[in-house]
Structure 1
Amino acid sequence: MDYSLVTAAAQAGGPCPPGEEAAWGRRVQGLAVDLHMIAAQVAQETARLESAAKFVALLEKVEIEESSRRGLLTLRTADGSAEEIRTEQQETDRGGQMIERARSLVGRWVLVYRYNESVGRQKSVRMVAHLMDMGEGVIAVNIAKNVLLDAAGGDAAKARAAWEAAGLHDAGTVTTVELDKARAALN
Protein backbone atom coordinates (compact mmCIF):
# COMPACT_ATOMS: atom_id res chain seq x y z
CA MET A 1 0.00 0.00 0.00
CA ASP A 2 1.22 3.46 -0.90
CA TYR A 3 0.63 5.53 2.22
CA SER A 4 2.00 8.65 0.54
CA LEU A 5 -1.21 8.84 -1.54
CA VAL A 6 -3.30 8.66 1.63
CA THR A 7 -1.14 11.36 3.23
CA ALA A 8 -1.49 13.59 0.17
CA ALA A 9 -5.25 12.97 0.07
CA ALA A 10 -5.57 13.82 3.77
CA GLN A 11 -3.66 17.05 3.21
CA ALA A 12 -5.85 17.89 0.22
CA GLY A 13 -8.97 17.09 2.25
CA GLY A 14 -8.00 19.56 4.93
CA PRO A 15 -8.55 19.20 8.65
CA CYS A 16 -11.24 16.84 9.86
CA PRO A 17 -14.16 18.82 11.29
CA PRO A 18 -15.15 17.58 14.76
CA GLY A 19 -17.96 15.05 14.55
CA GLU A 20 -17.56 14.50 10.78
CA GLU A 21 -14.90 11.82 10.88
CA ALA A 22 -16.84 9.34 8.71
CA ALA A 23 -17.59 11.86 5.95
CA TRP A 24 -14.03 13.18 6.08
CA GLY A 25 -12.68 9.62 5.84
CA ARG A 26 -14.81 8.94 2.75
CA ARG A 27 -13.60 12.18 1.18
CA VAL A 28 -9.94 11.29 1.85
CA GLN A 29 -10.54 7.80 0.47
CA GLY A 30 -12.05 9.23 -2.71
CA LEU A 31 -9.18 11.69 -3.10
CA ALA A 32 -6.63 8.88 -2.59
CA VAL A 33 -8.29 6.82 -5.32
CA ASP A 34 -8.32 9.87 -7.64
CA LEU A 35 -4.62 10.44 -6.93
CA HIS A 36 -3.89 6.77 -7.66
CA MET A 37 -5.66 7.08 -11.03
CA ILE A 38 -3.77 10.26 -11.84
CA ALA A 39 -0.48 8.55 -10.91
CA ALA A 40 -1.32 5.66 -13.25
CA GLN A 41 -2.01 8.12 -16.10
CA VAL A 42 1.26 9.95 -15.40
CA ALA A 43 3.13 6.62 -15.44
CA GLN A 44 1.56 5.78 -18.82
CA GLU A 45 2.47 9.20 -20.26
CA THR A 46 6.00 8.98 -18.89
CA ALA A 47 6.47 5.54 -20.46
CA ARG A 48 5.21 6.93 -23.79
CA LEU A 49 7.68 9.84 -23.60
CA GLU A 50 10.59 7.58 -22.67
CA SER A 51 9.98 5.33 -25.67
CA ALA A 52 9.21 8.17 -28.11
CA ALA A 53 11.48 9.16 -30.98
CA LYS A 54 12.77 12.69 -30.49
CA PHE A 55 13.75 15.22 -33.16
CA VAL A 56 13.93 18.97 -33.66
CA ALA A 57 11.80 20.61 -36.35
CA LEU A 58 10.21 23.88 -37.32
CA LEU A 59 6.45 23.75 -36.67
CA GLU A 60 4.94 25.23 -39.84
CA LYS A 61 1.20 24.82 -39.46
CA VAL A 62 -1.60 23.12 -37.57
CA GLU A 63 -4.79 21.99 -39.27
CA ILE A 64 -7.71 19.78 -38.27
CA GLU A 65 -7.96 16.63 -40.36
CA GLU A 66 -11.55 16.33 -41.59
CA SER A 67 -11.79 12.53 -41.57
CA SER A 68 -10.41 11.88 -38.09
CA ARG A 69 -10.85 15.25 -36.30
CA ARG A 70 -7.19 14.99 -35.26
CA GLY A 71 -4.78 17.87 -35.31
CA LEU A 72 -2.40 17.59 -38.25
CA LEU A 73 0.95 19.26 -37.61
CA THR A 74 3.28 20.06 -40.50
CA LEU A 75 6.92 20.06 -39.42
CA ARG A 76 10.07 20.97 -41.33
CA THR A 77 13.06 18.89 -40.25
CA ALA A 78 16.67 20.04 -40.27
CA ASP A 79 17.30 18.40 -43.66
CA GLY A 80 14.49 20.50 -45.17
CA SER A 81 11.93 17.73 -45.61
CA ALA A 82 8.34 18.11 -44.49
CA GLU A 83 6.76 15.65 -42.06
CA GLU A 84 3.18 15.41 -40.86
CA ILE A 85 2.29 14.17 -37.42
CA ARG A 86 -1.09 13.88 -35.69
CA THR A 87 -2.58 14.64 -32.29
CA GLU A 88 -5.38 12.78 -30.62
CA GLN A 89 -8.91 13.80 -31.64
CA GLN A 90 -9.78 17.45 -31.17
CA GLU A 91 -12.73 16.60 -28.90
CA THR A 92 -10.59 14.82 -26.29
CA ASP A 93 -8.90 16.73 -23.48
CA ARG A 94 -5.42 15.63 -24.55
CA GLY A 95 -6.11 16.24 -28.24
CA GLY A 96 -7.60 19.67 -27.68
CA GLN A 97 -4.77 20.72 -25.37
CA MET A 98 -2.09 19.50 -27.78
CA ILE A 99 -3.72 21.31 -30.72
CA GLU A 100 -3.80 24.57 -28.75
CA ARG A 101 -0.19 24.09 -27.63
CA ALA A 102 0.89 23.39 -31.21
CA ARG A 103 -0.95 26.47 -32.50
CA SER A 104 0.93 28.59 -29.97
CA LEU A 105 4.24 27.21 -31.31
CA VAL A 106 3.70 27.73 -35.06
CA GLY A 107 6.80 29.32 -36.58
CA ARG A 108 9.04 28.09 -33.77
CA TRP A 109 11.56 25.28 -33.46
CA VAL A 110 10.25 22.45 -31.29
CA LEU A 111 11.59 19.25 -29.82
CA VAL A 112 9.05 16.67 -30.98
CA TYR A 113 8.32 13.48 -29.06
CA ARG A 114 6.79 11.08 -31.60
CA TYR A 115 5.33 7.60 -31.30
CA ASN A 116 3.49 5.33 -33.72
CA GLU A 117 -0.10 4.34 -33.05
CA SER A 118 -1.62 1.32 -34.74
CA VAL A 119 -4.82 2.00 -36.67
CA GLY A 120 -5.73 -1.38 -37.99
CA ARG A 121 -3.81 -4.49 -38.77
CA GLN A 122 -1.10 -3.17 -41.00
CA LYS A 123 -1.23 0.60 -40.65
CA SER A 124 0.14 3.03 -38.11
CA VAL A 125 0.16 6.80 -37.86
CA ARG A 126 2.77 9.11 -36.42
CA MET A 127 1.48 10.75 -33.27
CA VAL A 128 2.83 13.59 -31.15
CA ALA A 129 3.28 12.82 -27.46
CA HIS A 130 4.83 16.15 -26.47
CA LEU A 131 6.21 19.38 -27.93
CA MET A 132 8.93 21.39 -26.24
CA ASP A 133 9.56 24.96 -27.40
CA MET A 134 13.14 25.40 -28.62
CA GLY A 135 12.72 29.09 -29.42
CA GLU A 136 12.33 31.31 -32.45
CA GLY A 137 15.88 31.11 -33.64
CA VAL A 138 16.63 31.17 -37.31
CA ILE A 139 16.06 28.83 -40.22
CA ALA A 140 18.72 27.62 -42.62
CA VAL A 141 18.25 29.14 -46.07
CA ASN A 142 17.79 25.73 -47.74
CA ILE A 143 14.99 24.84 -45.31
CA ALA A 144 13.36 28.25 -45.73
CA LYS A 145 13.44 27.87 -49.51
CA ASN A 146 11.76 24.45 -49.24
CA VAL A 147 9.07 25.93 -47.00
CA LEU A 148 8.46 28.72 -49.52
CA LEU A 149 8.43 26.29 -52.44
CA ASP A 150 5.76 24.22 -50.66
CA ALA A 151 3.76 27.40 -49.95
CA ALA A 152 3.99 28.25 -53.66
CA GLY A 153 2.46 24.89 -54.54
CA GLY A 154 5.72 23.65 -56.06
CA ASP A 155 6.01 26.60 -58.47
CA ALA A 156 9.78 27.29 -58.34
CA ALA A 157 9.58 30.54 -60.34
CA LYS A 158 6.88 31.94 -58.07
CA ALA A 159 8.85 30.94 -54.95
CA ARG A 160 12.07 32.48 -56.33
CA ALA A 161 10.26 35.73 -57.17
CA ALA A 162 8.76 35.91 -53.64
CA TRP A 163 12.19 35.21 -52.13
CA GLU A 164 13.74 38.05 -54.11
CA ALA A 165 10.80 40.41 -53.43
CA ALA A 166 11.36 39.87 -49.70
CA GLY A 167 15.03 40.76 -50.17
CA LEU A 168 16.33 37.50 -48.71
CA HIS A 169 19.91 36.31 -49.21
CA ASP A 170 20.92 32.95 -50.69
CA ALA A 171 23.21 31.68 -47.94
CA GLY A 172 23.20 31.33 -44.18
CA THR A 173 19.97 31.75 -42.26
CA VAL A 174 16.73 33.75 -42.23
CA THR A 175 14.35 34.52 -39.39
CA THR A 176 10.77 33.31 -39.31
CA VAL A 177 9.70 36.97 -39.72
CA GLU A 178 11.75 37.21 -42.94
CA LEU A 179 10.26 33.95 -44.18
CA ASP A 180 6.75 35.24 -43.42
CA LYS A 181 7.57 38.33 -45.53
CA ALA A 182 8.46 36.03 -48.44
CA ARG A 183 5.26 34.01 -47.93
CA ALA A 184 3.25 37.23 -48.04
CA ALA A 185 4.96 38.09 -51.34
CA LEU A 186 3.48 34.94 -52.88
CA ASN A 187 0.03 36.53 -52.96
Structure 2
Amino acid sequence: MGSVDYSLVIAAAQAAGPCPVGEEPAWGRRVHALTVDLHLVAQQAAQDIARLEQASRFVAFLEKVEIEATSRRGLLTLRNPSGDVEHIRTEQQETDRGRDLIERARALTGRWVLVYRYNDKASATKSVRMLAHLMDLGDGAIAVNLAKKIVLDDAGGAVPRAQAVWAEAGLPDGGAVSVDQLQQVRAKLQGE
Protein backbone atom coordinates (compact mmCIF):
# COMPACT_ATOMS: atom_id res chain seq x y z
CA MET A 1 0.00 0.00 0.00
CA GLY A 2 1.29 3.44 -0.96
CA SER A 3 1.58 6.37 1.36
CA VAL A 4 -0.93 9.19 1.36
CA ASP A 5 0.12 12.40 -0.36
CA TYR A 6 -1.15 14.87 2.20
CA SER A 7 -0.60 17.78 -0.18
CA LEU A 8 -3.51 16.39 -2.23
CA VAL A 9 -5.70 16.30 0.88
CA ILE A 10 -4.74 19.89 1.68
CA ALA A 11 -5.46 20.99 -1.89
CA ALA A 12 -8.81 19.18 -1.81
CA ALA A 13 -9.73 20.82 1.50
CA GLN A 14 -8.87 24.22 0.06
CA ALA A 15 -10.96 23.48 -3.04
CA ALA A 16 -13.90 22.37 -0.88
CA GLY A 17 -13.77 25.62 1.04
CA PRO A 18 -14.49 26.19 4.70
CA CYS A 19 -16.44 23.50 6.50
CA PRO A 20 -19.91 24.77 7.38
CA VAL A 21 -20.80 24.24 11.02
CA GLY A 22 -22.82 21.06 11.44
CA GLU A 23 -21.94 19.73 7.96
CA GLU A 24 -18.66 18.06 8.83
CA PRO A 25 -19.60 14.59 7.45
CA ALA A 26 -20.73 15.98 4.05
CA TRP A 27 -17.67 18.25 3.89
CA GLY A 28 -15.40 15.30 4.73
CA ARG A 29 -16.96 13.24 1.92
CA ARG A 30 -16.43 16.17 -0.48
CA VAL A 31 -12.75 16.49 0.53
CA HIS A 32 -12.34 12.72 0.15
CA ALA A 33 -13.86 12.73 -3.36
CA LEU A 34 -11.74 15.71 -4.41
CA THR A 35 -8.59 14.03 -3.03
CA VAL A 36 -9.29 10.90 -5.09
CA ASP A 37 -9.98 13.03 -8.20
CA LEU A 38 -6.76 14.98 -7.69
CA HIS A 39 -4.82 11.73 -7.26
CA LEU A 40 -6.17 10.43 -10.59
CA VAL A 41 -5.35 13.73 -12.29
CA ALA A 42 -1.82 13.58 -10.86
CA GLN A 43 -1.35 10.00 -12.15
CA GLN A 44 -2.50 10.99 -15.66
CA ALA A 45 -0.27 14.06 -15.61
CA ALA A 46 2.71 11.89 -14.57
CA GLN A 47 2.04 9.53 -17.49
CA ASP A 48 1.75 12.47 -19.91
CA ILE A 49 4.97 14.02 -18.61
CA ALA A 50 6.82 10.70 -18.97
CA ARG A 51 5.53 10.42 -22.56
CA LEU A 52 6.76 13.97 -23.31
CA GLU A 53 10.17 13.32 -21.81
CA GLN A 54 10.62 10.24 -24.00
CA ALA A 55 9.15 11.85 -27.14
CA SER A 56 11.25 12.97 -30.05
CA ARG A 57 10.89 16.65 -30.86
CA PHE A 58 11.09 18.45 -34.16
CA VAL A 59 9.94 21.67 -35.80
CA ALA A 60 7.41 21.46 -38.62
CA PHE A 61 4.82 23.44 -40.50
CA LEU A 62 1.34 22.07 -39.74
CA GLU A 63 -0.43 21.87 -43.08
CA LYS A 64 -3.71 20.16 -42.26
CA VAL A 65 -5.67 18.06 -39.82
CA GLU A 66 -8.09 15.36 -40.94
CA ILE A 67 -10.02 12.61 -39.22
CA GLU A 68 -9.28 9.08 -40.46
CA ALA A 69 -12.57 7.40 -41.30
CA THR A 70 -11.48 3.93 -40.19
CA SER A 71 -9.75 4.71 -36.90
CA ARG A 72 -11.43 8.02 -35.98
CA ARG A 73 -7.95 9.36 -35.15
CA GLY A 74 -6.73 12.81 -36.05
CA LEU A 75 -4.22 12.69 -38.90
CA LEU A 76 -1.82 15.64 -39.02
CA THR A 77 0.11 16.48 -42.16
CA LEU A 78 3.38 18.13 -41.16
CA ARG A 79 6.18 19.48 -43.31
CA ASN A 80 9.67 19.75 -41.88
CA PRO A 81 11.99 22.61 -42.92
CA SER A 82 13.63 20.46 -45.62
CA GLY A 83 10.23 19.93 -47.24
CA ASP A 84 9.60 16.31 -46.31
CA VAL A 85 6.06 15.37 -45.32
CA GLU A 86 5.28 13.42 -42.16
CA HIS A 87 1.93 12.13 -40.98
CA ILE A 88 1.25 11.74 -37.27
CA ARG A 89 -1.87 10.46 -35.56
CA THR A 90 -3.66 11.45 -32.38
CA GLU A 91 -5.65 9.21 -30.13
CA GLN A 92 -9.25 8.54 -31.20
CA GLN A 93 -11.50 11.55 -31.57
CA GLU A 94 -13.93 10.11 -28.99
CA THR A 95 -11.36 10.24 -26.16
CA ASP A 96 -10.75 13.41 -24.16
CA ARG A 97 -7.06 13.38 -25.03
CA GLY A 98 -7.71 12.73 -28.73
CA ARG A 99 -10.35 15.46 -28.94
CA ASP A 100 -8.08 17.96 -27.15
CA LEU A 101 -5.11 17.24 -29.43
CA ILE A 102 -7.27 17.46 -32.56
CA GLU A 103 -8.74 20.81 -31.47
CA ARG A 104 -5.27 22.14 -30.60
CA ALA A 105 -3.89 20.98 -33.96
CA ARG A 106 -6.78 22.56 -35.87
CA ALA A 107 -6.14 25.85 -34.06
CA LEU A 108 -2.45 25.67 -35.07
CA THR A 109 -2.99 24.75 -38.73
CA GLY A 110 -0.89 27.00 -40.96
CA ARG A 111 1.66 27.66 -38.24
CA TRP A 112 5.10 26.42 -37.30
CA VAL A 113 4.92 24.03 -34.35
CA LEU A 114 7.22 22.09 -32.10
CA VAL A 115 6.00 18.51 -32.40
CA TYR A 116 6.39 15.95 -29.62
CA ARG A 117 6.12 12.51 -31.22
CA TYR A 118 6.29 8.99 -29.85
CA ASN A 119 5.93 5.58 -31.45
CA ASP A 120 3.05 3.39 -30.31
CA LYS A 121 3.12 -0.36 -30.94
CA ALA A 122 0.15 -1.18 -33.19
CA SER A 123 1.19 -4.84 -33.40
CA ALA A 124 4.24 -7.01 -32.88
CA THR A 125 5.70 -5.80 -36.18
CA LYS A 126 4.18 -2.37 -36.69
CA SER A 127 4.39 0.92 -34.83
CA VAL A 128 2.44 4.11 -35.40
CA ARG A 129 3.76 7.66 -35.05
CA MET A 130 1.63 9.36 -32.40
CA LEU A 131 1.31 12.95 -31.29
CA ALA A 132 2.11 13.64 -27.64
CA HIS A 133 1.93 17.45 -27.77
CA LEU A 134 2.14 20.50 -30.03
CA MET A 135 3.65 23.84 -29.15
CA ASP A 136 2.98 26.96 -31.22
CA LEU A 137 6.09 28.54 -32.74
CA GLY A 138 4.20 31.21 -34.65
CA ASP A 139 3.21 32.06 -38.17
CA GLY A 140 6.57 33.37 -39.27
CA ALA A 141 7.96 33.30 -42.74
CA ILE A 142 8.52 30.12 -44.72
CA ALA A 143 11.67 29.66 -46.79
CA VAL A 144 10.88 29.94 -50.51
CA ASN A 145 12.35 26.50 -51.26
CA LEU A 146 10.03 24.85 -48.72
CA ALA A 147 7.04 26.88 -49.93
CA LYS A 148 7.74 25.89 -53.55
CA LYS A 149 7.96 22.22 -52.55
CA ILE A 150 4.57 22.48 -50.81
CA VAL A 151 3.03 24.12 -53.91
CA LEU A 152 4.58 21.48 -56.17
CA ASP A 153 3.12 18.72 -54.02
CA ASP A 154 -0.28 20.45 -54.12
CA ALA A 155 0.02 20.58 -57.92
CA GLY A 156 0.45 16.82 -57.98
CA GLY A 157 4.07 17.14 -59.08
CA ALA A 158 3.16 19.17 -62.19
CA VAL A 159 6.11 21.60 -62.33
CA PRO A 160 4.68 23.93 -65.03
CA ARG A 161 1.38 24.27 -63.15
CA ALA A 162 3.14 24.99 -59.84
CA GLN A 163 5.49 27.51 -61.47
CA ALA A 164 2.61 29.29 -63.21
CA VAL A 165 0.60 29.72 -60.01
CA TRP A 166 3.72 30.85 -58.14
CA ALA A 167 4.59 33.44 -60.82
CA GLU A 168 0.97 34.62 -61.12
CA ALA A 169 0.98 35.32 -57.37
CA GLY A 170 4.13 37.43 -57.82
CA LEU A 171 6.05 35.54 -55.18
CA PRO A 172 9.85 35.84 -55.01
CA ASP A 173 12.36 33.25 -56.24
CA GLY A 174 14.43 33.49 -53.08
CA GLY A 175 14.17 34.45 -49.45
CA ALA A 176 10.90 33.80 -47.67
CA VAL A 177 7.14 34.16 -48.05
CA SER A 178 4.48 34.61 -45.41
CA VAL A 179 2.09 31.85 -44.43
CA ASP A 180 -0.76 33.96 -45.86
CA GLN A 181 0.99 34.22 -49.24
CA LEU A 182 1.55 30.48 -49.33
CA GLN A 183 -2.05 29.75 -48.33
CA GLN A 184 -3.34 32.03 -51.12
CA VAL A 185 -1.31 30.11 -53.72
CA ARG A 186 -2.47 26.78 -52.29
CA ALA A 187 -6.11 27.94 -52.34
CA LYS A 188 -5.72 28.97 -55.99
CA LEU A 189 -4.37 25.52 -56.87
CA GLN A 190 -7.20 23.82 -55.02
CA GLY A 191 -9.78 26.05 -56.70
CA GLU A 192 -8.65 25.14 -60.22
Short-chain TM bin: over 0.9
Q: Are the counterparts in 2 of residues 163 and 182 from structure 1 also a CA contact under 8 Å?
A: yes
Other structure's SS at 2:104 match: helix
The match for 1:117 is 120
The match for 2:97 is 94
Structure 1: 5+ residue runs without aligned partners? Answer: none
Confirm whether residue 70 of structure 1 aligns to residue 57 of structure 2. Answer: no
Other structure's SS at 1:29 match: helix
Q: How many residues align?
A: 187
In the alignment, the residues of structure 2 paired with residue 143 and residue 95 of structure 1 have an alpha-carbon distance, to the nearest angstrom, of 29
Q: Are the counterparts in 2 of residues 166 and 185 from structure 1 also a CA contact under 8 Å?
A: no
- 1:27 equivalent among 26, 30, 37: 30
The match for 1:40 is 43
Shift of residue 181, structure 1, vs aligned partner: 2.2
Confirm whether residue 2 of structure 1 aligns to residue 5 of structure 2. Answer: yes
The match for 1:140 is 143
The match for 2:88 is 85
In the alignment, the residues of structure 2 paired with residue 29 and residue 78 of structure 1 have an alpha-carbon distance, to the nearest angstrom, of 50
Structure 2: 5+ residue runs without aligned partners? Answer: none
Other structure's SS at 1:68 match: coil
Other structure's SS at 2:46 match: helix
In the alignment, the residues of structure 2 paired with residue 69 and residue 184 of structure 1 have an alpha-carbon distance, to the nearest angstrom, of 26
The match for 1:150 is 153
TM-score normalized by structure 1?
0.97
TM-score normalized by structure 2?
0.94
Other structure's SS at 1:185 match: helix
Q: Are the counterparts in 2 of residues 165 and 185 from structure 1 also a CA contact under 8 Å?
A: no
Deviation per CA, 1:36-78: give whole Å up to 9, x if none. Answer: 1100000000001111100000000111111111111000101
Shift of residue 165, structure 1, vs aligned partner: 0.9
Q: Are the counterparts in 2 of residues 61 and 75 from structure 1 also a CA contact under 8 Å?
A: yes
Deviation per CA, 1:105-154: give whole Å up to 9, x if none. Answer: 11100000000111111111111111000001011111101111111122
RMSD: 0.9
Deviation per CA, 1:22-45: give whole Å up to 9, x if none. Answer: 121111111111101100000000
The match for 1:14 is 17
Q: Are the counterparts in 2 of residues 57 and 75 from structure 1 also a CA contact under 8 Å?
A: yes
Query: After TM superposition, which residue ranges in structure 1, 4 or more long, deviate above 3 angstroms?
Result: none
